[in-house]
Structure 1
Amino acid sequence: MVLDAKLSKGDWIVHANYGLGQVQGEDTKVLEGEKNHYYVVQTEMATYWLPKDRLDADNIRDIAPVKLFRQALQLIEEKPRQMNQDFRKRQSRIVEVIASNSVVELAKLIRDLYWRRKHKTLNENEKRALDIVKERFAREWSVAADLKQEETRSILEKTLASVALKYEEE
């Protein structure tokens, strides 16, 4: 997804690898004798430099609108999809979804991993992935909706638990 042509200090963006981040300013660095211009982006865990000429990259996007999070929650409330029995295929799906940088696909992955955790065991990579994608989802939603992150986390957990109960009975 293409970002706005120019970012300003305080703007929020989402990077597929780093998650939600806020633009802190601009910086210039000389690499291999060439002057390069960057946006300095602060995430919860790190700071990264985003090349100003790469704002059209597929791995970065504007923060999602609140409406999209409502749609994502509706998807979470749908019947979970069984994940592949082959751990390599499950891992491949996780990597693809994270790389897609899509709120909708993250929601489906959260739902399906949560369901699998309730009925089978998750390997360590899947456990970590579930924690990461839930945190990313809740964090971005909290900024988009101007809510406390604890509130979005709580709503997400309650929604997942109610879905597990609802489809457990089937």
Structure 2
Amino acid sequence: MKLHLLCVGRLSESYLREGVVDFSSRVQRYLPLTVTELREEKGGKKADPGFFREREGERLLARITNEAFVVALDEKGKTLQSEQLSEFLGQHMVQGTGELAFVIGGAYGLSEAVRKRANLVLSLSPLTFTHQMARLILFEQLYRSMTILRNEPYHNR
């Protein structure tokens, strides 16, 4: 199974870049990983969040393959505990899912069209994070999930 992260925007803070590089390289020890960063819509003080979501959503949808099982990260999504996320990944590995695509929107979130395309809408927490922090948290959780599946000592339960 291949993992594909599609996200809007680049990481602007060095501590986020360093964390993402660390955890994404750890994830790649277990599964192939591709990251696709798409340009964020820019606007002035009269920015229209709905317009931005739609434009970014169109670009995200254009990059999602028809065969991919899509997990959209959204604050209104379903929450899973780490063990449940691990089970979810394990099930897809056993079922032979070819591509598991995780989608993170920009500063204004995801369009309704992206949410509808998703096979699962997932929330990382009841708390709200920036889309840049969500990327780091997702990679840490994917790494944690793989260590749980392999019964490795990273997860302390």
Give the TM-score, by structure 2 length.
0.31
Question: Radius of gyration: which is bigger?
Answer: 1
Q: Which has the higher contact order (CA 8 A, sep 6+)?
A: 2
Greater fraction helix: 1
